[in-house]
Structure 1
Amino acid sequence: MRAQPVGQMTDDKATARRGVRCIELADLTNEQRSELTELTEQAHASGGDVRGALELARAAGTRLPHPGGGVTAYLWSALASVAAADLTVARVLEPHLDAHAILEQAGEEAGDGAWGVFAAEGPGEPLRATRHGEAYVLDGRKHWCSLGGELDGALVSAWVGRERQLFAVDLHHPGVKAVAGTWVARGLAAVDSGPLDLDEVPATAVGAPGWYLERPGFAWGAIGVAAVWFGGAVGLARRMVAASGTREPDQVALMHLGAVDARLHAARAVLQQAATALDAGELAGPAGWRAALRAREVVAGACEDVLRRAAHGLGPGPLATDEEHARRVADLELYLRQWHAERDQASLGRLLLDDPGSGW
């Protein structure tokens, strides 16, 4: 039996004709495969439309599992499949699912709205939280708030004295204002990730100070982001394969295809192994963060190589005339900057020196 190429999807011919295929990071049941195919079709149909992506996220948030629940490979398959179809939709879905997982870990309910997670720090004075009785009030500017003007709620980190703490915030509160005109990105252009200004906005604490970064799920969510990157790279690889249907590939084109297949195979294997270890209870504490750094390193490296080889193999034509391909390239290039590159490599090196027995 011939081995399936990386990212090979189901054999549904009608689905294949539409160019919509789901990525399987594990053996799935027929029901799971059917659900994944439907989700992938919906992502493809959204075509980068944010409102459609938000509706998909609201519906999928109640259906997809959380990491570490025994079917993590299925969850990451869903994220990768959506990303291969459309990275804008994946950029909306991934933090929504992450917020659901965080709230579950904290023993809180997510409700029916579309959620984001705003926990990155930006320049200037940070967002501050002040205690008012049993609740808190947030004041200041929060940077990197993806779709802050479109979502229903968000988990937002803020400073309480010298400690960071996570808070649930209703983004429809009149004290929340999106700062317009700052998002000029060419990649993920529809996912405005500019800052929010908050003025006496009520907030509910989610976990104790420091809990957000210390909880095991922080590392698990970071691997989920890598699954999205992987899916985006698979989408580029499929475009390279499709190009061979219109022109017979020469040796150079075959070389690029072979290298892409090998890099994506390695990335897929790392995600599979991480999902298995997570469900087996092996990725708690330092082991979880080490696994996240390793997985993100391998997947991000593979994605950057796929971007380079797709550019060399396909040339300028698709970048200039193929809307879907040009948008995917720009989206993936920006999305990958969530990886901290050399800084993450240095962190991984430090972990190795601190615990040499954890290496190879």
Structure 2
Amino acid sequence: MRAVTLPEFGDECVLTLAEVPDPQPGSGEVVIDVAAAGVNRADLLQRQGHYPPPKGESDIPGLEVSGTISAVGDDVDGWSVGTEVCAVLAGGGYAEKVAVPAGQLLPVPSGVSLIDAAGLPEVACTVWSNIVMTAHLQEGEVFLQHGGSSGIGTMSIQVARALGARVAVTAGSAEKLERCRELGAEILIDYKQQDFVEQVKDAADGRGADVILDVIGAKYLARNVSALAPDGRLVIIGMQGGAKAELNIGALLAKRGSVIATSLRGRDKADKERIVAEVRKHLWPLIESGQIKPVIDRTMPLDQVADAHRLLNDSTHIGKVLLTV
């Protein structure tokens, strides 16, 4: 099969389309003939040598796919050859075929195309596990998403609105903020021109945000703590702004605040299965009803993977970028 390989680490030019052996399903696994794969910032980090796959997982980049089951291993119940699915992966998605544990499969939601479904698993599992299962966002609370026009952001806006929260977002242009507004955000902050701490507090009667989902990391740590409401929860899922920063414990104590850091890729299979099951039970019906929709910026063929990585690096997209196979 064809797959994107990494003979070395570096810029987009190291991404190499090559012939590699077809995967075989192990016990509890299925093989998917891939229709499309989502492109995520974690893939860019892996390409640069900063985010290796967990031990024993594929070195091929790609954390989510959609496609059709073509083989089923032993001890798999409820899935059969020919079923259209999407899946969250620990790696291997930039390929014509991928083996995946059956517990990480999701059916393609009714009303969503097979290609567009590739943009759902990673963001759905990341958003639901963090703002619902970890931060316990409640109706009437204020939710702040940094990078509101990203794949994560466009999903979290819709989920938070469905939960009855007030949604604040940061983004870097009027176009991106307008798209966030269309998805349900009501507090729109241009981080290049405005102080998000002041803007969130002003919109929340001085309290701040009850839950913050942050992809920036070190650069925003102190300001995120300042932006928290009493008993607020800051969940960090990215390090675009660095990995090391000082934390004012006194400021956190004064607010009885929580700082939580999570990742999806490195979780064990049982934990991922638990998250996927919760997403299928609670979030999938919202997608199938049309209340929440995948936001796809564009699709690109697999042999244009370098251009797809450049697009994500430049942050000119809104929503998900997909590679078609």
Q: Calculate the TM-score normalised by the size of structure 2.
A: 0.30
Higher fraction of helix:
1
TM-score (norm 1): 0.28
